[in-house]
Amino acid sequence: MSKNKPTNKIEARSDLRFAIVASRYNEKHVDYLIDRVQARLREKKIPASAITLTRVPGANELPYVASMLALTGDCDCVIALGVVIAGDTPHHEIIANATACELQRIAVDTQVPVINGIIVTLNEAQADARVFGEHDRGTEFANAALEMAMLGNRLADYLEQLDRNDMERERNEEIFGSFSLDDEEADDEDDFFGSSDNPYHKN
């Protein structure tokens, strides 16, 4: 497990909205993740009214609800939280791979950042270290959500400005394009400016 966490300074904002969707499986771990995420968001001036929480049975149900929440347009970032601990079968690997791919796809398709806050471990001790210990993954997930929400908004504003510029360019072409000379008029103009009737004509 890497301890090289990002050091980017997170600014305080009160105009962002977050949707948390969390598994009820391994409840004591996930509940603590929720607490840490919400505490960090509130620390960065996000009002409680701008943070929604939806619970689902397990990690496998997270992508569906994350997708629905992203499609509402009511949040700047979705945070999916879950803890998957290995058992006697490789089921945890299936869940980890499937949910990771789906959460990433949802973010790309909806253009709403989705934080993959699903912790996958081989045993409960590893889960304890990542959730309750010094690694504090909950705060880490919140920091990622804050940064991506702000970045997503900046990129959306930039794309909107590009669209406005394109529309303005097309409008100008429609308006000023109507004043362009057709071929016959252009030939007449050339004849005039090149003739002796033109007072500005120089031999």
The catalytically annotated residue of 29, 91, 92, 201 is 91
Length of the chain (residues): 203
- Contact status, residue 46 vs residue 96, Cβ threshold 8 Å: no
User: Cβ contacts of residue 60 below 8 Å, gap of 6+?
Assistant: 95, 98, 99
CA distances from 176 to 92, 185, 189 (A): 63, 16, 19
Select from 118, 119, 111 the least CA-distant residue to 67: 111
Burial of 35 (0-12, 13-18, 19+ CB in 10 A): exposed
Gap between the Cα atoms of 84 and 126, Å rounded: 11
d(Cα 150, Cα 14) in Å, to the nearest integer?
11
Q: Any idea what DSSP says for residue 12?
A: P
**Contact call for residues 13 and 114 (beta carbons, < 8 A):** no
Specify the pairing of strand 77-85 against strand 114-121: parallel
Active site residue 92: no
Report, as residue numbers or ranges, the catalytic residues.
91
